[in-house]
Amino acid sequence: MGHIDAVRCAVYSSDGSHIASGSVDQTIRIWEAHSGATFGKPFEGHSGRVLAVSYSPDGRRILSSSNDNTVRVWDSETGQTVAVYSRYRPPSHPVYILDGNEILYTGYSCGLHIVDMEARDTASTTIKKHSYPLFSAAFSPDGSRIVSSGESGAISVWDSPSGARVAGLSTGHTNDVWSVGVSPCGKRIVSGSSDRSIRIWDAKSGRWQGNPYLGHRDKVFSVAFSPDENCVASGSGDHTIRICDINLASSVVETLQGHTGAVWSIAFSAGGEYLCSSSDDNMVRIWDTATRRTIGDPFQGGKYATAYSPDGAQIASDFDGFAVVIRDIHTGDIVTGPCEGHKDVIRCIAFSPDGRFVASGLNDHSIRMWHSRTGDAVVCLPKAHPRRLSSVTFAPSGSLLASSSFDGLIRLWSTKTLTLPIRDDSWWVVDTDGWTVREDGTAMLWVPYELRATLKWPQYTDLACLDTPACVK
């Protein structure tokens, strides 16, 4: 018996033996990756749809987020809740636990946040207030940089210690960028967009490399580098997955077909032998990257998010939208979960680098974290942002968690204290209607359309502040 509603996210445990999934049924489930059998009882606790799940690096914890405005951390073995964060709004795109201590997530409040998982309070640092919603965020392998993406083709690179914007990748995509990823060596960035293209960027210079990879007939929702960095995989609204050899000019190696709905999430196993995907068809599929064929029967329940464990033995996914399950990659058995308790749809899932935890992000502005073995909730951040979150990720050092949101904020959370904030810079932003306002809502001035792009990054721009609205002539 699995989820009873749509699965929104799934992710592997660090050793690849289990998969966690989150579902619309408000639960998280753990699956044996090899057999596909469920493992233990569903994780219950969320009161809304589960949007995202992620394992901790050691596999002992699972992180989940829900539209119940909470983030939970679970014991992956027992399914017991370890911590609940109840002040944050839900992430809608992947959450990450990079070293077991830090969580990074983004949300629909246009911000990027980092949270200290072990401190279990609600502290964070806001890196940057954007003038557009953020959809995705990722740490560089060494944790020194954060890459974020959002509306209108915007991609930015940030210095994680200082929060300073160090690069902007803004001359490539012509529409929203749904997903970004950093290569294992940290030298390249991949992005997928509503303009149906995939681009590779030089992480240092910020320039795109070669021609865009074309072929999808709909929006690109998810992208990922293979571990050997030779290929990039992409999932699209056209129901397909494409694998491109980035050493060949605009060459699509293979188109993987089998899903009957939009592919929202893809992830390579640690060794690169497998690729997992989840779709609107409520199925999680595992693909052999050598043969380009599915392995066994698809797992029912996955929709928006999947993630491999660091060791590639397990996969975590949403299960019917509101729960998270972890499956054995070879058997398909559920080994942990469903991790339940979510009040909203699970949109993203991620394992921590040590495989101990799974993080899930939801539409309710919250982040949840679960123990990958027990399914227990470890942390819940219910109101991390004023608007729904879009992405979270841990720094490799474990000291920081970053989150981004539709409120335009990037937040860094101390994993030692979880106190808010480490730094909370009050940048002004240019709203879509042209009015510039402080974060406290104070009106400054109206900016003509042709000047808004120039004033998008206020830390590099001087602007006089007005106490009342004024006209610019």
What CATH number is attached to the domain comprising 258?
2.130.10.10
Q: Is residue 1 part of a domain?
A: no
- The confidence score (pLDDT) of residue 438 equals 46
Same domain, 381 and 469: no
Same domain, 181 and 280: yes
Q: Is residue 2 part of a domain?
A: no
Same domain, 339 and 408: yes
Same domain, 177 and 287: yes
- pLDDT at 453 > cutoff 80: no
Same domain, 34 and 48: yes
**Residue 151 pLDDT level (bands cut at 50, 70, 90):** confident
Q: Is residue 303 part of a domain?
A: yes
Closest CA to 145 of 342, 390, 396, 359: 396
**Residue 256 pLDDT level (bands cut at 50, 70, 90):** very high
- The confidence score (pLDDT) of residue 126 equals 52
Same domain, 437 and 392: no
- The confidence score (pLDDT) of residue 466 equals 27
Same domain, 367 and 457: no
First and final C-alpha spacing in the chain: 66
**Residue 241 pLDDT level (bands cut at 50, 70, 90):** very high
Q: Is residue 453 part of a domain?
A: yes
Domain limits at 95? 7-424
Q: Is residue 343 part of a domain?
A: yes
pLDDT, tens digit, for every residue of 177-234? 888 889 988 889 999 999 999 999 888 877 888 888 888 999 999 999 999 999 999 9
Specify the higher pLDDT residue, 309 or 256: 256
- pLDDT at 32 > cutoff 70: yes
Q: Is residue 110 part of a domain?
A: yes
- pLDDT at 378 > cutoff 80: no
- The confidence score (pLDDT) of residue 114 equals 59
The total domain count for the chain is 2
**Mean of the pLDDT values across residues 127-151?**
73
- The confidence score (pLDDT) of residue 456 equals 42
- Per the listing, tokens 């290929």 go with 231
Same domain, 337 and 449: no
Same domain, 184 and 239: yes
